[in-house]
């Protein structure tokens, strides 16, 4: 497996693969890889001849008060996981390589980014769209893989690819959970033992809401009220949002008459965690 640190290295290798008629998959990550990321890499390896995993903590998607400096990093472990899972290359650039002197071009979006994480993190998706666009241009993948845990991000990237006529397929992959239900996240490492136990309230609320819809509840407000009450009963939890939106447009809705995304963002102590489910 190759570890590339420059755009030039990646482009040269991908050109060689494509000369050989090989398909290329991309798994964009911020590193500190876990089984959730590994599931994306496994899927990519089964569907492409070569797989590139980007490991880059993207500074422009963090607000000044967020955890850019403390975001967990372990490149050696990341490379071992990627190699063991079958990736052909890890792309690990420095910020200066991605955003050189005088960088002034950004990819912005309206509509799909307005609610959920876009409401509480107003500059976040501009950073996400910009870096993903750059990765698509650098790697020129046939397919790119994103997890449903970041469901709004998945919807945003799909819309960007459609709106800008990008020549690739965006593949969404299921949430991977711990044995007790907590969605896998690099930020789970921030949690103390007490907070880790309290964090289970997210998955309990998600499973409860999903069951209500599966059992026939069509009133979204009732589903959200039940989930909210469950989270509020946890003393260490502070709700950022508990919302239901149309899955295709990320517009707020309160009646379940098609595919809906029900998403939660909750602070457990100082750690912001997200979870969701899609139902109809």
Active-site residue list: 37
144 membership: H or E segment, kind and range? strand 143-147
- Cβ–Cβ under 8 Å, residues 148 and 174: yes
Q: How far is CA 20 from the centre of its chain?
A: 31
Closest alpha carbon to 129 in 66, 58, 64, 187: 58
Rg from Cα positions in the chain:
19
Q: At what angle do helices 35-47 and 75-85 cross, to 10 degrees?
A: 40
The tokens describing 211, both together, are: 């069951």
The tokens describing 193, both together, are: 């033992």
| Residue 120 phi, psi (nearest 5) | -90, -15
Q: At what angle do helices 124-139 and 7-19 cross, to 10 degrees?
A: 50
Q: How many CB atoms lie within 10 A of CB 94?
A: 10
């Amino acid at each position: 497996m190759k570890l590339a640190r420059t755009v030039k290295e990646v482009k040269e290798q991908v050109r060689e693969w494509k000369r050989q008629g090989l398909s290329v998959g991309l798994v964009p990550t911020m590193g500190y890889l876990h089984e959730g990321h590994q599931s994306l890499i496994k899927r990519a390896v089964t569907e492409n001849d070569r797989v590139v995993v980007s490991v880059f903590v993207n500074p422009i998607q963090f607000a000044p008060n967020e955890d850019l400096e403390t975001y967990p990093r372990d490149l050696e472990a990341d490379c071992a996981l990627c190699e063991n899972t079958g990736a052909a290359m890890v792309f690990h650039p420095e910020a200066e390589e991605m955003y050189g002197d005088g960088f002034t071009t950004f990819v912005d979006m309206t509509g799909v980014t307005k609610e959920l994480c876009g409401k509480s993190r107003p500059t976040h998706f501009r950073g996400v769209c910009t870096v993903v666009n750059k990765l698509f241009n650098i790697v020129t993948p046939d397919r790119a893989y994103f997890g449903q845990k970041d469901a709004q991000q998945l919807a945003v990237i799909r819309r960007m690819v459609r709106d800008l006529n990008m020549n690739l397929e965006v593949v969404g992959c299921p949430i991977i959970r711990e044995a007790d239900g907590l969605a896998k996240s690099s930020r789970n490492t921030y949690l103390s033992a007490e907070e880790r136990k309290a964090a289970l309230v997210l998955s309990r609320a998600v499973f409860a809401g999903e069951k209500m819809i599966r059992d026939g509840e069509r009133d979204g407000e009732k589903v959200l009220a039940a989930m909210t009450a469950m989270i509020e009963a946890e003393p260490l939890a502070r709700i950022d949002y508990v919302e239901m939106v149309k899955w295709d447009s990320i517009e707020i809705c309160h009646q379940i008459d098609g595919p809906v995304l029900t998403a939660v963002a909750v602070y457990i102590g100082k750690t912001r965690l997200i979870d969701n489910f899609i139902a109809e």
